[in-house]
Each structure stands twice: as structure tokens, then as C-alpha cells.
Structure 1
Amino acid sequence: MAKYYYLFLFLTYSLVTFSQNSDNESVFRVSLNDLELTTYPKDSSANALVLYENGKSFVDPTSYNLRTEEQHKVKILNKDGFKHANITIPLYIKDGNAFEKVEHIIATTYNLIDNNVTTTKLEKDQIFNEKYDEHHTLVKFTLPNVKEGSVITYSYTKVTPFMFNYRGWDFQSEIPKLYSEYNASIPGNWNYNIKLIGGKQLAVNETSIKDACLTGGNGGSANCFEARYVMKDMPAFIEEDYMTSKSNYLARLEYELKTFQRFNGIKDDYTKTWKTVDDELKKDDNIGRQLTKSVDTETLLSADILNNTNLLSKAQDIYKYVQDNYTWNEEYRIFQDTSIKNLIKNKSGNVSSINILLHNLLQQAGIEVKPILLSTRNNGFSTKLFPVISEFNYIIVQATINNKTYLLDAVDKYLNFGDIPFRCLNSYGRLLDFKNGSDWIDIEPSKLSTVQYKVELNLDDKQVISGNVNAKNTGYHALNKRKAYYPNKTEYVNKIHDKNAYLEISNHKVLSEGKTSEDFIETYDVEYENAVSGDNIYLNPFLTKFFSENPFKLQERTYPIDFGYKDTYYYTFKLNFNDAYNVLELPKEIALNLPDSKGQIIFSSNVLGNSILITLKVNFKDAIYQPEYYPYLKEFFSKIVDIQTNSIILLKKKE
């Protein structure tokens, strides 16, 4: 889970330290050392390096606009770093009279050629405006004459009238940073929650008070809370498999406006309590009022469903009805276009409309249900300390039947009753209860996910190796299999063959029941080719591999390894042979545990009579591992890949 640190600006000015800012201009200037730098010792893979950056936000005492002045100095280490000379500045437009703008763009490229420093400046006609959408414009420019070894500098001022959106600051990016500084000046009229995300420590955290920095009507004035924040030697943030949104972990400052007090004393509250939000959602046309809409069940549901007296069976039938008859339009938009009337008419709708219809049908069937607001894995964690409704982008349903709780989502046509999509496994959600008040709940899979393979082969007198594979997947592994198999069964079988060119696949059958079954069971026959070399037989027992490569390649990972769910992999292999062969070599047995017994590999190989028995079991006991487990998981996966790749059985024909 992401680490958040909250620095609350109560603006009582009781805890204050005074400081001097660094000499920004001298540090911003390009030095000979900057140009002669060829590599970054702390990260030899870096293609560019932020040498220095500085931001300063303050309220203009004349216009009351928020101004942010930025300076950036970047070293381009190689050709792969050229992309960091492409700069984009997003601007927000509320309407024709309220919009952000950028001023004073200055950009220069420095090169060291034959011991001479050359400079190339950005021209005004090299700056472009691009409309992104109805509310955003992008200002773009590319530093000119960039080469390997260049140092680029650019600075600009961003002006915004939107004080509710106080400028945050990213201390971390996809390239390392030597020095990143942000200075904020906030008049006492504005009261913000400040959130430091990413779990990184500030090298400098200094605050002070500037008297009468802002004046208003009738002689009113406000003092300013001034802060200086610095981080140094920040590593690059590199995305890797098994993570949620990088926004959860990227080191940065964010501001959330709590209150604004006018010079006449009137106070406006912006940060609400959950009680207030619950009341608003209850009255909201797209949420609360849709959740209480009556549905004509007599028209929609069959008599068999309506007359079913078994609540669990009835809930499952209603779930399947919604799942089969309404198609997700691939839009979330959970607070817009949620009309279940339109959904029933069009047979297609967004996440909210489909799951609200499911909620209402279950409720009318006498089943206890409540909606849950979520933020999906790609959307980032929602803030727990205070309500930020815009951070939620998904709705699912909680149903309680016979004292057992089920999480339901009818959007995915391959989901089994009681499962939710992988995208929803983001630690927690907000359970809405308009009578008793909403509350946070943990979002966890209800079932263990497993992969099981049982392979039995026979070596006959003609040196032909053939046999059968039985496989069973449960949980999210089964869901992935169903999604791969049912849309194109032929392609699915072809991919099994493609993964092992020395296998002939035949008689493939799926034994599980339909595309929403709890498990995915399959069986097929196989025949080996090219396993015989003279009198010897070389055989890798792993006809399928759990992991074809190690997903963990970083030197260090500073954010959690989030698999989403706990799972177990189990592979058994049996080769029957006759007395004409001797077993010359078997793979070595291995047992490996993660620290604190949070995972285990057990690999064994034995000969029992005229049979070779191979067993591999891999168990992950946690869904989420903290960064300190990364080197162990890296070794863990390396061992799994090695076992599956290099485990060779050698049989020699008797003379």
C-alpha cells in the first residue's frame, strides 16, 4: 500500500522555523562539470539525469492568480535520453473566461564541442499549442540541437486562477534526480491538506511566516505560510510487473483545499465529511436515486427466477441474467449516464448502470445489498483521511445471503458469482450505507487461485513418448483461461503447441461447465518429437511453464510487489518406461523458502520402479509483498525459471 504523510496547514503560525533559500540562479547555470559528465554512477542504466530543478508557487498580490515559476536542468546521457528534451505543459480551461496560461518560456541547449561550449536557444516559433480535449490544452516544445552529452535548461511560469488546484510537485520521475526543490507560499485565507506521497524522506523541510503578503478590500491582509521542500539523489521510478498505479508510489506533494476565508470573514468549506458526502450521494440523481429505482421484475425476469425460494440460487440466477443480457460499453463514468432505464432500453451501459441494475434486482428479490465505491488498480489508491469522490471510478455490489458476504460485478461476462475483476483488487473500497453511514472495507478475493498440472507419459519399445495432460485452474487463473479459450478455441489450442514446438497436441477437451464456471479443467493428449538422440533420451519434464522468465529485473524496487491475490502452482510429472532403459540423470531436488515463510518452492525427483516422478510446488502466501522482499522474490522467480528450463531427465538404452 502507498505511504502518505499529511502536513496540515492550520495556519496558526505557532510552529515556525526560518530559513534561507539556496542560491538558485548559480545552481541553475550550466557548468563545465555538467557538460563533461558522461554517466551517473548510482544508476549506470540512466539515459538522462535531472541535475537540478526548482519550483516556486505564490499568489500574485495584484491579480490573486496562483503563479508557479519552474527551472529545470537536465543532462542527456545517450540517444535514449533524447525524449526528455520533449517538454509538455498541460493547461486547464474551465470556460472562455477562466483558463490557465504559461508565460516566459526560455529554453537552451548546451553542448561541449572541441572544448568549446555552444548554446542553441529555443525560438518562439518552435513552441506549439495543441488542444487535448474540451478542458485541456497542451503547450509543447522540443529543445533544439540535442546530442549525446547535451545539457538542457528550460524555465517558464504557469499562471492559474484556480486556487483550489494548488500546484503540486513531483520529486521523482522515470529518470534519476540529483536535486529537486519546491517552494510554496500560501496566504492564510487558504487552508490546505498537504499530502506527501511515496514514502521518501525530505532532505529539507523548512517553514516560515511572511507578514501581510496579501492585501484585500477594507484594509484586510493575510500572512503567508512559506515552505521549502527538497529531495536529493532520487532514484528513477521504473515501472515493473505486479504493481498498481505508479501514482501510489511516485514521490510527490499534493494539495487538497480544505477551506477558504474571504477578507469579509465568510468561510467556504471544500473538504467534506463522509456524513456530508453520504447525504449528497443519497440525493444524487446518478447514484442514490438510481439505487432506489423500482424495476419491473415481472417483465425482465423469468418465472423460474421469480418463483425460486432459495435466496442464494435466486441471487445467482439474477446475476447471470444481468451478466448475459447487458453489455459493458467500456466506460466507467460512475457518476454520469447511470440511468438503468436507458440500460434496459439499450442493453448496453457503463459500470454504474449495470451494477446498479444488479443491486436493484437483488434488493427487490429480498436480498440485502449495498453498493461499494472503488478506485481500480490503474487509477491509484483513494484517500482515506477525507472524502475525495473524484478518486473513485468503479462501483460493485455487496450481497449478504445466509450470513455470507459476496462481492459482485456483472460487467465481466466471464466472472463467476462471488468474484470481481482483477482491476478491482486495489486493497479497499467505500461501502455505502445511506441509513447507518458509509465505511471502508477490505477488498480481497474470496477464493484461492491455483494452477495444477498432472502429466503422465509412456515410453514404448519404439522410443515413442506419448501420454496425457490434465490441468485444472481455479480463481483468477481460471478466469484468465476462460477468457483465452471461449472467444477462439482453435487459437487457444494452437498457442499450447506454440509454447512447445516438440509437442504434438490432440484430443483437447474442456471439462468444466461454461464460461462462468468456478474452475477451468482441460485435458489433451501429447506426443514428444526429437527426444531421442542415439541410445539416449533427453527430456524436459515441464510441458508447460508457470513463468517463462523472471519478471523482476531491477537492481532495487522501492514500491510493493502486488500480485493481487494469493496463489499456488502445482505440477506433477510421471514417465513410465520399460526394462530396456536406465535412468542416468535426474534433476536435483530443491527446497527454498521466502523470509517469514511467505512463500515456498518444493521440487523433487524420484525413480519408483520403472517410473520417474517429478513434482514442483510453488506457493505464494501473500498477495502483497513489501519492497524489502524484492531481492528474495527476485531470487525466488529465478529459481522457478531455472527449474522449469534446466530440469533434464536422461535415460540410456541398455546394451
Structure 2
Amino acid sequence: MKRIVTVVLMLALVQGTRAQKGLPGFGKVDKADLLLTDCDFDKGAGALVLIDYGHTYYDRGTVGFSAFKTVFERRIRIKILKESGMPYADVRIPYYTRNNEQRILKLNASTYNLDAAGKVQATEVKKSSIYAKRLDADYSSMIITFPEVKVGSIIEYSYSMESETISLNDWYFQRRIPVRYSEYKLEIPQMFRFSIQPNITDSIEDKQEVTTKSISLSEGYIETPVLTSQYIMRNLVGIKEEPFMGAVRDYLQRIEFHLMQIDYGDRTDDRRTKWADIVASLKKSESFGKQLETPVPGTASLLAEARAITDPEQRMRFVYEYLRRNLTWNDEDGIFADAGIVKTWETKTGNQADINLLLISLLNDAGLKASPVLLSTRSNGLTLTNYPNTEQFNSLMAYVTIKEGYFILDATNRIIHYKLTPEQVVNTNGFIVEGETGRWKEILSGKYHYKVTAAVQGEIDAEGNMKGNCLVNCYDYARVQRCEELASNPGKFKDDYFYKPYPSVKVEDISINNATADSLPLEQKIKFSTSLNSSGNYRYFTVNLFSDLDKNHFIAEKRFSDVDFGIQQDYNLFGNFTIPADYVFDGLPETTTFSTPDRGILFTRTVNADGNLLNIRITVEFKRNFYGADSYADFREFHKKMFEKLNEQVVIKKKTSP
């Protein structure tokens, strides 16, 4: 990861100059940009952010609610370069709507194209194509539907967001697509003290100026020193996803802000939020803590049956299994309930927080100890334990303690065994909402790995055709992954694991067992045939069939992100091959063992040939699940060598007549 540096600065902002110096005005589109077909500093990009401008200042707050309000002005212009860039014309602006704390105003949007005469043609987005959609009890999204968008178009939109708060928006200079120009301007009264947490690796222009300005209040105005800060970055390449990289967000160049103090001159007000404040707020929330205080009608018989189970672990399992069998997740994550646990029980559907808060409530009513645990999945990004806020979390699950152990349960997942921590949060930090202060917990996978075992038996005839069978067993997290993919799309599942990776192999039959038995490995039986390559009296074949080690994901010479597998991995391949009586083994892979320099990944192969029978065993153990980008060279070299060994050919030769 890029190193994050934290500094504390005194910042300030007020109504200042609205003009965006040096930038073309809204609607002033350069024809050259409409003629643009590629990004000169990030070739092949699907879209390009031409302008991303933000401006924050303070104004008079709402009487009776707050003394100040934050005004955040935003303007974005995007060029659509390829069909793959079209989704960037689907604009959604999230905002916090509880108690009307945030409001989006002055929204303007247009699409620009060149007409037949080569002139710039602007199409304004109609008000009917701009609408708000409620996401949950706390958040909504402003949706803009742009007309006349096609490859070559430019879209542009601007808005003002007013917030009844002193907090600042974080600013992301970088995106998944390249950014030509990004600027964030802040005008902040120096009575407000923020910590600045930059994650910057490229060149940035940073301008600071202190002036005295006026801020209007409900009664008159105040004059105060204001620090005007201007941060500008140019020509930022888009962040490309790399295999097993974790969250893209963690690698985006950005500046984050955290309010620390308000200096009133004669005294200071510490505004640093503590985790105890977060816990107190969550417990008072109607969408969180109050749900756990709400009785759920109609659960008496379920609870009576649960309480009759004397073993605490089996009692927990009973309640968990009942909910995940009978409730339907609506595919929405989050840490706040939407429907609420009573309605979720009645309708048998809800978001992740609805279902798991219901699970926690029932487990506690059944005499167990369960608490909510707030989590950020690996795809969502790292959590910052030193900066208390709930916005960094995107998942709520149940944390259950029994004797000396603990379980992380997610009743929205109908496939995973209760003893397995959900894969998307393994090796992350979770915040357990319990007591007055809560506590952090490192979430581990324990003894459970991603484990695949393949046993291949093949018989080769005199014509060079191999017929065989393979038994693939997937355990623990490998079982979960494959069962999820099988349930989602059975045809694609078979293509991805058995057909596409082995184009020269004809798969004649696949049978799958134990897909609904989460305590058993997923069993996949394959019947196959293939023709050996030949040259004169020689024939060749590979033993690496259906092993789940068919593709090297680490062939790129350079890598900017860390490698995060999440789970430790175990692969076992057993091969038993019989060749014709009139053939002999002429070239065999050697028995070998090698590892990464830190011995975090170990490859072992044993080979034994006896007469016309070949037995081979390959094991690959990933004892480490995380490798920093700085160790990628050795990591890549290991994978290169490993796949060379995996794909080495067995050579057989026809016996010569005496």
C-alpha cells in the first residue's frame, strides 16, 4: 500500500470567489475534445474525466439546527471514448437525507455532440430526467439520465450540496478512468481545525492563502481569518484492476479530512469523534440499536424449540439455519436496517442489516450472546481504526461468542457453513458494537482454507487417445465459491472450470454432488477423453487436468497493488496414467520441491513410473495470503516457475522392434 501521512492543519472556508479560474465555463466545450478518440496519457481508456472541480465553503446554517452549513459545489465533465465507457454516463450522486441534513441544489446537466456540420450541439438534460431515489433510511441517490449519449459524446453536470454540518468531503483525484484535470478548493475559517490525511504519490499543486473574510450568521456576521487551499492534480492514469488486488479505493490518490477542534478564541471544543460516541449513536438509532430492543411477534415457537437444544453451538446453528433457509436477501448490503426486523420477519425479506439484526435479536432471545459486528469487505476497502465513523463500513454480521471461541454469521448467505467466516471479510478488522465503547476484532479464517483436490485416472490406447475419469473435491472456501457460482449459472460454472481451461479435452459427462450439504465437500465427477500430440514415434500429454491451477494470473512484469488472496490455499493433484504395452516412458517431469524465498508458498511434485504405469502427485500450499507490491518480483518468478512445472509434458515412445 502507498504510505499514508497524517498532518494536522488549521483550515478555513467561507463564501468566496465562485469562478473557476483557468477552466472553461459550463457549456464551453472545445471542439478538439469532441474529436478526441483516445487519451494521450492512458491509451485505450473507455472514458476520460476532462474536468473534476470541487469547491467547499461555509455559510449561515439553518436556524435552530446549526450555526454553520457546508456548501460543496461540484462540476464534472466526462468524455466517452469507447463503448466500455458508456456506463460513466450513468450518473448517481449519493447524499445523506435523514432529517434533511444534505440537500442537492442547482443541478445542471448537458450532453455535447458534433452535428453533421461539425458544430458543437448541446442537449440539456430535462428536469424530468433528474430524480432522487431512496436507498435506505439514511441515504438517497440523485440520478441523472443523459440524452443523446454515444461514443464520442461529452457529458457535463454541476450541482451544489448543502450540509448542516461542519465536516468536509474527502476528495478523490484519481478514478478507474483517467483524469485530465482535478481541483479541490477549500475556504475554511481557521477556527475549524481539521486533520488532513493525504494519500498522494504523483505531483500535486498545493496553494495556500490566508485572508480575512465575513461569514453570515443568523444574527449578523463574523469576520475571521480564512485559509483558502487549492489542490490540483493533472493527467492521472486510471486505476486498473489487477488480480487479487483488494479494494481499488485503497489505491486512489486522495485527501481525507477529519474535524478535530473548534477554536473559539477563549476556549477550544474538541470535536474528535470517539468510538464510544459511535456506539452511543448506533444504540439510539431506529435503524440499528432500537431494532434489537423491539420484540418480534410470531417467534415464540422458534425460540422455544431453540431453547430446548442444550448445546449452545447447535442452538446457534438451529436459529441461523432457520433464518437463512426461510428469509430472502434483497441483495442490498449496509449496516442500517431498512424494513426493520419485525417487517423482515413478516415478509421474509430484507437487506443485510435487516436479516442479521433479526438473527442477533433471536440468538440473544435464545439465551446466547450475540452482537452486531461492523465490517468493510475487502472489495470496499481498509478500515481506519483511529478515525471513528460508520461510513467506512458496508456490512453488518452477527458476532457470537461461545465458550472461548467466536463465530461470524451472515444469514443472507445460504451456502456457507456456519463455522466458516464469510470469505469477503476474512483478514479484515471488524468493530463489535457491545458495551459502551465497542471493540475492534481481527477477523481470521482459522483452520479453514481454500482447498481443492483432484484425482485423475487416464488410460492411453495404441492410437494415442486417452480416456479417463477425474474426481474433484472442493473443501471449505473452495466449496463455497464453486457452490455460489453453480447456483448462479450452472452452464457458466461448467464452462469456467471444465471446458474453457482445457480446449483440447472433450468432457463427456459431469456429475455434481453435495451442492446443498454444506458440511460435505463439493464432489465433481468428470468423464473425459483427449488425443495426445505426437511426433513420429513420440507422444506427449500433460497431467495438469482439472486442478484449478490452469491459469497464471501474475504474468505482468510490474504491479502497483498488493496481492491479497484473503484465504490460505491448498491444491492437491493426484495422477494415475497407464500407457500402451508397446510404449515406454521417454521423458518424465522430475521430482522437485521449491518455494518462494520466505517459504510462504511451497510447490512439491513426486513422480514414480513403474512399467507402463505413471503415478504423480503435486501439492501447492499457499501459507501466506498477502504479499506486498514490493515483493512482487520474487512472487512473480515463483509463479512463472510453478506453471512451467505444472505444464511440463510427459513423453512416451513406441518400443522399437528388436
- Short-chain TM bin: 0.7 to 0.9
SS where residue 571 of structure 1 aligns? strand
8 A contact 1:108–1:120 mirrored in 2: no
Counterparts of residues 187-198 of structure 1 (less than 5 Å): 187-197=189-199
2: CA distance, partners of 1:309 / 1:247: 46
- CA offset digits 1:4-45 (Å, max 9, x no partner): 4444344599xxxxxxxx99479xx99999999998887555
Shift of 1:466: 4.0
**Structure 2: gaps of 5 or more residues:** 14-19, 62-67, 135-139
8 A contact 2:56–2:70 mirrored in 1: no
Counterparts of residues 418-429 of structure 1 (less than 5 Å): 418-425=419-426, 427-429=428-430
Check if 1:246 corresponds to 2:248.
yes
Give the equivalent residue in structure 1 for 2:65: none
1: CA distance, partners of 2:84 / 2:472: 46
1: CA distance, partners of 2:623 / 2:249: 26
2: CA distance, partners of 1:425 / 1:4: 23
SS where residue 220 of structure 1 aligns? strand
2: CA distance, partners of 1:7 / 1:213: 27
- Give the counterpart letter for 1:246 in structure 2: V
1: CA distance, partners of 2:295 / 2:29: 69
8 A contact 1:54–1:71 mirrored in 2: yes
**Structure 1 pair 227/356, CA: closer, same or farther in 2 (3 Å)?**
same
SS where residue 242 of structure 2 aligns? coil
Give the equivalent residue in structure 1 for 2:505: 502
Check if 1:480 corresponds to 2:481.
yes
8 A contact 1:540–1:649 mirrored in 2: no
**Structure 1 pair 315/513, CA: closer, same or farther in 2 (3 Å)?**
farther
- Give the counterpart letter for 2:382 in structure 1: F
SS where residue 331 of structure 1 aligns? coil
Give the equivalent residue in structure 2 for 1:185: 187
- Which deviates more from structure 2 when the two are superposed, residues 288-297 or residues 43-52? 43-52
Check if 1:312 corresponds to 2:313.
yes
- Give the counterpart letter for 1:441 in structure 2: K
Counterparts of residues 391-410 of structure 1 (less than 5 Å): 391-410=392-411
Shift of 1:229: 2.8
8 A contact 1:369–1:398 mirrored in 2: yes
- CA offset digits 1:359-395 (Å, max 9, x no partner): 2333344333222112233433344223322333322
Shift of 1:455: 1.7
1: CA distance, partners of 2:72 / 2:602: 55
Shift of 1:275: 1.2
1: CA distance, partners of 2:228 / 2:182: 17
Counterparts of residues 38-437 of structure 1 (less than 5 Å): 45=44, 56-59=55-58, 66=71, 68=73, 90=93, 99-101=103-105, 121=120, 123=122, 125=124, 130-131=130-131, 133=133, 135-137=140-142, 158-162=159-163, 164=165, 166-176=168-178, 180-197=182-199, 200=201, 203-212=204-213, 214=215, 216=217, 217-218=219-220, 220-231=222-233, 234-257=236-259, 272-293=273-294, 299-301=301-303, 303=305, 305-337=306-338, 339-425=340-426, 427-434=428-435, 437=437
**Structure 1 pair 132/633, CA: closer, same or farther in 2 (3 Å)?**
farther
8 A contact 1:187–1:213 mirrored in 2: no
- Give the counterpart letter for 1:422 in structure 2: E
- Give the counterpart letter for 1:227 in structure 2: S
Counterparts of residues 586-625 of structure 1 (less than 5 Å): 586-587=588-589, 593-603=595-605, 605-625=607-627
**Structure 1 pair 610/171, CA: closer, same or farther in 2 (3 Å)?**
same
**Structure 1 pair 23/297, CA: closer, same or farther in 2 (3 Å)?**
closer
8 A contact 2:12–2:192 mirrored in 1: no
8 A contact 1:69–1:157 mirrored in 2: yes
Counterpart selection for 1:583 from 576, 582, 585: 585
SS where residue 389 of structure 1 aligns? coil
8 A contact 2:245–2:562 mirrored in 1: yes
1: CA distance, partners of 2:562 / 2:292: 36
Give the equivalent residue in structure 1 for 2:64: none
**Structure 1 pair 311/182, CA: closer, same or farther in 2 (3 Å)?**
closer
2: CA distance, partners of 1:616 / 1:280: 54
2: CA distance, partners of 1:40 / 1:491: 34
Shift of 1:403: 1.2
- Give the counterpart letter for 1:622 in structure 2: R
- Give the counterpart letter for 2:440 in structure 1: W
Shift of 1:163: 6.4
RMSD, aligned CA: 5.0
Give the equivalent residue in structure 1 for 2:17: none
Matched positions, count: 630
Give the equivalent residue in structure 2 for 1:440: 440
Shift of 1:139: 5.9
1: CA distance, partners of 2:48 / 2:340: 50
SS where residue 391 of structure 2 aligns? helix
2: CA distance, partners of 1:353 / 1:398: 15
SS where residue 531 of structure 2 aligns? coil
1: CA distance, partners of 2:95 / 2:291: 31
TM-score (norm 1): 0.77
- Give the counterpart letter for 2:394 in structure 1: N
Give the equivalent residue in structure 2 for 1:558: 560
**Structure 1 pair 162/32, CA: closer, same or farther in 2 (3 Å)?**
closer
Shift of 1:430: 0.6
8 A contact 1:547–1:640 mirrored in 2: no
1: CA distance, partners of 2:347 / 2:627: 44
1: CA distance, partners of 2:150 / 2:361: 62
Shift of 1:319: 2.5
2: CA distance, partners of 1:570 / 1:587: 17
- CA offset digits 1:218-258 (Å, max 9, x no partner): 56212112223344664331123323332222112234556
SS where residue 377 of structure 1 aligns? coil
8 A contact 2:110–2:124 mirrored in 1: no
Counterparts of residues 6-25 of structure 1 (less than 5 Å): 6-10=6-10, 24=22
- CA offset digits 1:160-185 (Å, max 9, x no partner): 43364645433223344576543322
2: CA distance, partners of 1:10 / 1:455: 67
8 A contact 2:333–2:395 mirrored in 1: yes
TM-score (norm 2): 0.77
**Structure 1 pair 65/119, CA: closer, same or farther in 2 (3 Å)?**
farther
Shift of 1:344: 3.0
- Which deviates more from structure 2 when the two are superposed, residues 130-139 or residues 53-62? 53-62
Give the equivalent residue in structure 1 for 2:652: 650
1: CA distance, partners of 2:46 / 2:493: 40
8 A contact 2:83–2:151 mirrored in 1: no
SS where residue 396 of structure 1 aligns? strand
SS where residue 323 of structure 1 aligns? helix
8 A contact 2:12–2:188 mirrored in 1: no
8 A contact 2:104–2:159 mirrored in 1: yes
- CA offset digits 1:426-470 (Å, max 9, x no partner): 711111112x52011112222122111122334467876444423
**Structure 1 pair 158/344, CA: closer, same or farther in 2 (3 Å)?**
closer
2: CA distance, partners of 1:93 / 1:227: 26
